[in-house]
Amino acid sequence: MSEAHVKNGRNFLLGALRGNESHAFLQSLELVSLELRQRVYEPNVPIEHVFFPINGVISMLARMQGGGEIEVGTVGNEGMIGLPVFLGSDTTPGLAFSQVPGQAYRMPAATFKQFLQASSRLTAVLRRYTQAIMIQISQGTGCNRAHSNEQRCARWLLQTHDRVGADEFVLTQEFLAQMLGVRRATVSEVASGFQENGLIEYTRGLIHILDRARLEATSCGCYQTIRDEYDRMYEELRR
C-alpha cells in the first residue's frame, strides 16, 4: 500500500505513525473491501486479522442470552478493529462485522503482534486510541439509558456520517433497530419523523443526510462528547 495514501486522511491511526517504524508497518498491510454484514471476528474464536477502516463502519456487538445482539461500539477511519489483540488476548466474547460497506487495511494478527514488540510509536498511538474508544463506549452506554430514541438515532447517524465521507450510505430499518436495541416499528417512526422534517431522505435502504446542522441539534450532547474526545486524540497524536 502507499504510505502517502494513508497520510492523506484515509485512516488516522495509520497516519499518526512516523519514521522507519511507519514505513515497515504500512508495507505489511493489505487493502480489502468489506461487504455489508461481513464478519471480521467471531465470539470466542481466535482473531486472525486486525483492521484499519478507510471509509466504512464496523460494529462491535455483545451477544446476549437468548440469541440477541446489541451494538456496544462502532469503528471507522478514526480507529482500528482488533483491540483485544493489542491488549494481549487472542479472543473476545463479542463479535464484529461490517455495518456500512467500505474499504479497510488489514494485517494478520501474528504480524501485528511482532510490530507491537518492536514499535514504541505504534504502542503509544494505540494506547491513546484505547482511551478514546473507552470514552465512546461508556458515553454510548449512558446515552442508551438516558436519552430518547430520536436523540440516539441522530447520534448514530452523525457518527456514521463522519466516518463514511459521503452524505449517502446503506442502512436498512431492520439493521438500525438492531444497532439501537429497539423494535423496527420504532425505527420506522423515528426515520419517518426525520424525513418529514427534512433532516434525511430514506429510500430503499439508503440514508441521505439532508440537513446535518439540524440533525446535530436533534441529537443529545453525547455525540459532541464523543467527537471532542477523538478531536483531543487527533491533536495529541499530531504533536
pLDDT per residue as tens digits for the range 87-131: 999 999 999 999 999 999 999 999 999 999 988 999 999 999 999
Query: What pLDDT, on the 0 to 100 scale, is given for residue 188?
Result: 84
Which three cell numbers, joined as nine digits, stand for 136? 465512546
pLDDT per residue as tens digits for the range 57-92: 999 998 888 777 888 889 999 999 999 999 999 999
* Interval 4-17 mean pLDDT: 70
The dihedral through the CA atoms of 35, 41, 45, 49 has a sign that is positive
Which of 133, 147, 143 lies closest to 58, judged by CA?
Answer: 133
Q: Is the pLDDT of residue 7 over 90?
A: no
Provide the angle, in degrees to the nearest 10, between the axes of the packed helices 120-146 and 109-118: 120
Q: Indicate the SS3 state at residue 17.
A: coil
**pLDDT, averaged across the chain:** 90
According to the model, what pLDDT value does residue 89 have?
A: 97
Q: Identify the pLDDT of residue 1.
A: 41
- Domains of the chain in start order, with CATH, are 3-119 (2.60.120.10), 148-219 (1.10.10.10)
Task: List the single range of 167-171, 175-179, 210-214 with lowest mean pLDDT.
Answer: 175-179
Q: Tell me, what's the pLDDT at 174?
A: 76
- As separate numbers, helices (DSSP H) first and strands (DSSP E) second, the chain gives 11, 10
> What local confidence, expressed as pLDDT, does residue 71 receive?
85
| Whether residue 56 has pLDDT greater than 80 | yes
Query: Taking 60 as the threshold, does the pLDDT of residue 2 lie above it?
Result: no
Residue 179 has pLDDT above 80, yes or no: no
Please tell me the distance from the alpha carbon of residue 182 to that of residue 229, in angstroms, as a whole number.
27
Share of the chain above pLDDT 70, in %: 96
The H or E element that residue 103 is part of is: strand 102-108
Q: Find the mean pLDDT for residues 135-147.
A: 93
Does the CA dihedral 49-2-12-34 come out positive or negative?
Answer: negative
